[in-house]
Structure 1
Amino acid sequence: MRHSTHTMGNSLNSKIASFLSNKHLMSLTGNLTVQAINILYFGLLFRYLKVEELGAYVFFNSILGLADSLRSGFVTTAFTRWYCGAAVKRAAEVMGSTWVISIAITVVFGILNLGAYLVSYPLANEGFNLFIKWSGVTMLFMLPSFVGMSVLQADQRFDKLLYLRSMQLSMSVLGLFGLLLLHKVNVTNVIYTNLFAAAITSLVILMAGYTRLGDIRYRSMECIKELAHFGKYSVGSQIGATLFRNSDTFIINFMLGPAALAVYNLAQRFMIIIELLVGSSVATAMPMLSVAYNKNDKAELRNILTKNVGIVTWVLLPIVGGTILLAEIPIYILGGSKYIGTEAANLLRIFMAMAILFPIDRFTGITLEVINKPRLNLIKVFMMLTINVAGDFAGIYLFDGIYGVAIASFPTVLSGFLFGYLLLRKDLSLSLTEMMRVGLAECKALLAKFLASFKRVQSV
C-alpha cells in the first residue's frame, strides 16, 4: 500500500514537472492567469468608476501604450532576433547595448513629457491631461520590468514571467480593493496604485538579476547601431500596430465622446481571450523562429509557422462560436446591468467574428521581422492603419455610431491577412490548406494525449 501511494505521488509529480517544462503550456497558463486578473481589475473599474472617468482612463492607457510601443518596438524584436542562440560574449554585448537604447529612449521621452507638462497642462480633454501628467514617471518605473521581461521571454522562462506579471497585476487589484474600502475610487488614485505596483515589480526584477544590468559594460557602438538599424523598421511596425489597435479609441473619443468609448472598450475587453491565445503562441514561437532563421533552416521555419497558425486557429473556433451566441452573458458579468441594452453585446459579436483571422495575421507579421524583412511588415501595418482610419470615419458617417467603427475593422484585418500571407507564401511555400490540416492533426494529438494522461491519473 505504501509503495502504491509512493508510486502515485511520483506519477503526479512527474506529470506536474512535465507540464511546467512545456513552454507552450506555461506561456498560455501565464497569459491566462494574467488576463484573468486583468478582467477582474477592469470589471471593478467598469462597476465603480463613472462612465466618463472610465473613458478618460481608457484613453490615457491607449496613449501610454503608444508611447511604450516606441520603446518596445525599437528594442524587443531586435533584442530577441540577435540574443537568441548567440554565443555568451555576443549575448552580453547585445544585452548591454539593449540597456543603452532602452535608457536613452526613456530619458528622451521623459524630457519631452516634462516639456509638454510645462507648456500645455491642463487641456480640455481629461485623457490627455492624465497622459501629460503621469506618462513620464510611469515609463521610468516600468523600465527595469520592461528589460527584465524581455530577457525572460527570450530565454523562454515563462514560469518566471507568470510570477512577475501576476504579482504586478495583483498589487494593482489589491490597491483598487483598498480604494474601495476607503471610498476613494477615482481615476487619479487608480493611477497611483498602478505606479506603486510598477515600482515594486521593477525593484524585485532588479534584485533578482533578471535584467542583466551588469552587462551594460559590454555594450558596443557597433552593436547599438546594428540594433538601432533593425529597430527603426521594427519600431515603425510596433507604433503602427499600436495605432491600429488604438485608432478606434482615438476616433471614438473625439467624435462620439468618452461614454461611447467606455461601451466600445467593454466589448473589446473580451478580445483578451483571443489575444492571450494568439499572444502566448507568438511569444513561444518567436524565439524558435529566430533560432531556425539564424541556422538558415527554412524548412523548420515553415513548419513552426504552419503548425502554430493551424493549432491556434482551430482552438479559436469554438470560443468564437460560443461567444457570438452568448454575448450578453460576458457583457453582464464584466460591466454589470448598466451596459445591458447598449451596443456592447453586438460589438462583441462583430469583434469575435473577425478574430478567426488574427492568428495568421500576427504570425506572418512577426515572421517577416524574424527573417529580416521588417520593412515589409512596416508597410503591412501602416496599410492596415490607413484602411482602418478611413473605414472608421466612413463607418461613423454611414451608421451614425460605434457600429460603423466595428464594421470597418473587417476590411482592415482581411487586408493584413492577405498581404502577409501572400508575401511569405512565395518565400516559404506556405499553404492555408496545409495550415488547417496540420493544425487539426496537432489538436487531435494534443487532445488524445490529454485524455490518455487523465485516464492514467484516474486509474492510479
Structure 2
Amino acid sequence: MKKLPLESIRKLLNSNVVLSLLGNGVATVLSLLSFTLQARWMSTSALGGFIYLYTIYTLFDTVRTGLMYNALLQQGAASTSEKGFRRWEGAVWQINLLFSAVGVLLGTAVVLVGQTWIPIDGKALGWLALSIMVSIPGNISSWMLLVRSRFRPMQIQKVLYPAIMIVILAGMQFRGGITQEKMMLANLGLTAGLSLLSIGAGWCLPQSVTRGTLQERKHFYRYGKFSIGALLGSSLLRNSDIYLLRFFVGPEAIALYSIPLRLIQIIEVPLRSVVSASIPAIVKAFHHDTPRVLSRMVAREAGGLVICLVPVAALGFLLADYLVVWLAGAQYKAAAPLVRIFMVYSLLLPLDRYLGVTLDAIGKPKANLIKMFGMLAINVVGDCLALWLFPTPEAVAAVSIVTFGSGILIGLHHANQHKVPLTLRSIGAQGLFFVRELLDKGLKKEKAEPASSALTK
C-alpha cells in the first residue's frame, strides 16, 4: 500500500537535515530582523559600542569552543554507554569552567594594565566577564544536543535567542529607547535565561561536573590545541576590522561598517551550504581520481559560483542606497559606498572558500593555516596603514579586497605546490564552461517539456 503524500511530507519535515535547514534559515531571518531593529532604534555610537563588545565576547567564545567542540563530537558520539558519555560531559564542564574563569581573570588584568589604550570601561568589563560565565550551560547544551543528534531541541534553542530578543527590543523601544547599557543588560539577561532553560530541560547536566577524569581532560587538550589555532585565526580575520576601527576611529564607524557585513551574510549563508555540499566529492576525487580531475572539478565549481554571483553583486552595487535604507534606515545612507566595495569583495569569497576546502581535503591543513594567518597579517598591516592615511571605514573595506585577493594567490600557490594544478585562467575558463553547460541543460529541458505535453494530448 502506497504511503499518503501527507505522511511523506511529515517524515521529510521531521528529518534531521530538513530540521537543521529550517532552523538555520529561520534563525538567520530573525537575526537579520533583530539587527534591523537595533540599527533603526539605537544611536550609531550605541550600536557600534555594543557590536564591538559582542565581537570581543565572540572571540573568547570561539577559542573556548575550539578547545572542546571537535574533541567532544568525536569522542562523545562514539561513547556506547551513558556512564562514558557523562564522563565526557563532566570533563567539558570542568575545562569550560576553569578556562572561562582563568580567561576572565587574565582579560581583566590586561584591561586594567592597558586601560589607557584599550577602549573598555568598568561596565563593559563586568558585562564581558558575566556573559562569558553565564553562557557556559547554553554552550555545553548545544554541543550535547548535537552529539546526541537531538536536532529538534537544538534548532529550538537556536531560534529562541533572536525571537525573544526582537520582543525585548520592542519593549525597550516602547519604554523610552535603547541605549548601549540597556542592550548589554538585555543580552546578558537573555543569555542567562536560555542557560537556565538548558539546565531545566535536561539538555545539559551540571551534576556531571564530578564525573570527568584526567584521561578525558588530556584528550581535550591534545585534540583542542590544534583546533584553537584555526578557529582563532578565522575569528581574528573576520573581526580584526572591528577592533581596529574602534581603536583608530570610534564606535560610529563600527555601526556603519556592520551594515555591509550583514548584507554579505545573506550571500555567505547559501555559499557555505554549496561549498559544504562539494566537500565529499572533492575528497572522493582526491582519493580516486587524478590531480587534473580534482583541479577541473574545483575550477568548474568555484569559477561557476563566481560567475553566478556576478549579477547578484552587480545588482547590490547598483541598489546599494536602497539596500542600506531597507536594512538600517535613512540614517545609515553613508554606508552605501561600503556596500559597493563589499559587493566587489563578495566575488572573491567562492575562490577563497574552495581553495581552503581543497587544501583541507588533500590533507594539507597546515597549508590552509598558513594561508589564513598570511591573510590575517596582510589585513592587520593593511588596515593600520589605511587608517593612518585615511581614517574611514571605506579604507578598511578596500583592504579586505586586497586581503582576500592575496589569500587566493597564496591558496593557488599551495594547491599547485601539492600537485593540484589551478590558475585564475583555468578557473575562469572552467567556470564559464560549467555555467554554459547548466544553461544548455535548462534550455533543452524547456524544449522537451512542451513536446512531451503535446504527445500526451
TM-score tier (shorter):
0.7 to 0.9
* Residue 384 (structure 1) aligned with residue 375 (structure 2): yes
Distance 1:79 1:215, change over 3 A: same
Query: Which string of whole-angstrom CA distances, capped at 9 and with x for unpartnered residues, describes residues 24-65 of structure 1?
Result: x54443333212212222222212222222221121112112
Query: Which string of whole-angstrom CA distances, capped at 9 and with x for unpartnered residues, describes residues 126-168 of structure 1?
Result: 6554541211111122112222223444566554333211111
**Residue 209 of structure 1 aligns to a residue in which SS?**
coil
Given that 2:77 and 2:148 are in contact with CA atoms closer than 8 Å, whether structure 1 keeps it comes out as no
Q: Which amino acid aligns with 1:203?
A: L
1:233 Cα deviation after fit: 2.8
| Mapping 1:341-360, distance limit 5 Å | 342=334, 344-360=335-351
The residue aligned with 1:10 is 4
Q: For 2:303 and 2:218, how far apart are their aligned partners in 1?
A: 37
Q: For 1:430 and 1:212, how far apart are their aligned partners in 2?
A: 50
Distance 1:226 1:440, change over 3 A: farther
* Residue 33 (structure 1) aligned with residue 26 (structure 2): yes
Given that 2:137 and 2:198 are in contact with CA atoms closer than 8 Å, whether structure 1 keeps it comes out as yes
1:265 Cα deviation after fit: 1.6
The 10-residue stretch of structure 1 (139-148 or 394-403) with the greater mean CA deviation from structure 2: 394-403
Which of 167, 173, 179 does residue 180 from structure 1 map onto? 173
Query: Which string of whole-angstrom CA distances, capped at 9 and with x for unpartnered residues, describes residues 367-403 of structure 1?
Result: 7668876544433322111100121133335555322
Given that 2:305 and 2:431 are in contact with CA atoms closer than 8 Å, whether structure 1 keeps it comes out as no
Q: For 2:144 and 2:441, how far apart are their aligned partners in 1?
A: 32
- Look at both structures and tell me which one has the larger radius of gyration over its CA atoms: 2
* Residue 134 (structure 1) aligned with residue 139 (structure 2): no
The residue aligned with 1:456 is none
Which of 377, 386, 401 does residue 395 from structure 1 map onto? 386
The residue aligned with 2:66 is 73
How many pairs were matched up? Answer: 431
Given that 2:264 and 2:342 are in contact with CA atoms closer than 8 Å, whether structure 1 keeps it comes out as yes
The residue aligned with 2:196 is 203
Q: For 2:375 and 2:212, how far apart are their aligned partners in 1?
A: 36
* Residue 105 (structure 1) aligned with residue 96 (structure 2): no
Given that 1:62 and 1:246 are in contact with CA atoms closer than 8 Å, whether structure 2 keeps it comes out as yes
* Residue 265 (structure 1) aligned with residue 261 (structure 2): no
Distance 1:407 1:171, change over 3 A: same
TM-score of the pair, normalised by structure 2: 0.77
Q: Which amino acid aligns with 2:39?
A: F
Which of 124, 147, 160 does residue 153 from structure 2 map onto? 160
Q: For 1:78 and 1:363, how far apart are their aligned partners in 2?
A: 25
* Residue 61 (structure 1) aligned with residue 50 (structure 2): no
Which of 336, 344, 352 does residue 329 from structure 2 map onto? 336
Distance 1:380 1:444, change over 3 A: farther
Given that 2:50 and 2:183 are in contact with CA atoms closer than 8 Å, whether structure 1 keeps it comes out as no
1:438 Cα deviation after fit: 7.7
* Residue 404 (structure 1) aligned with residue 395 (structure 2): yes
Q: For 1:443 and 1:217, how far apart are their aligned partners in 2?
A: 60
Given that 1:96 and 1:218 are in contact with CA atoms closer than 8 Å, whether structure 2 keeps it comes out as yes
1:99 Cα deviation after fit: 3.6
**Residue 185 of structure 1 aligns to a residue in which SS?**
coil
Distance 1:130 1:30, change over 3 A: farther
Distance 1:411 1:346, change over 3 A: same
Given that 1:394 and 1:404 are in contact with CA atoms closer than 8 Å, whether structure 2 keeps it comes out as no
1:285 Cα deviation after fit: 8.2
The residue aligned with 1:225 is 218
Q: For 2:116 and 2:168, how far apart are their aligned partners in 1?
A: 28
The residue aligned with 1:148 is 141
**Residue 150 of structure 1 aligns to a residue in which SS?**
helix
Q: Which amino acid aligns with 2:386?
A: G
The residue aligned with 1:239 is 232
Q: For 1:359 and 1:218, how far apart are their aligned partners in 2?
A: 44
Q: For 1:424 and 1:209, how far apart are their aligned partners in 2?
A: 46
- CA RMSD for the aligned pairs? 4.3
Distance 1:369 1:226, change over 3 A: farther
TM-score of the pair, normalised by structure 1: 0.77
* Residue 322 (structure 1) aligned with residue 315 (structure 2): yes
1:236 Cα deviation after fit: 2.0
Q: For 2:19 and 2:250, how far apart are their aligned partners in 1?
A: 40
Q: For 2:214 and 2:310, how far apart are their aligned partners in 1?
A: 48
The residue aligned with 2:452 is none
Q: For 1:202 and 1:437, how far apart are their aligned partners in 2?
A: 51
Which of 73, 78, 83 does residue 86 from structure 1 map onto? 78
**Residue 270 of structure 1 aligns to a residue in which SS?**
helix
1:429 Cα deviation after fit: 5.0
**Residue 135 of structure 2 aligns to a residue in which SS?**
helix
The residue aligned with 1:250 is 243
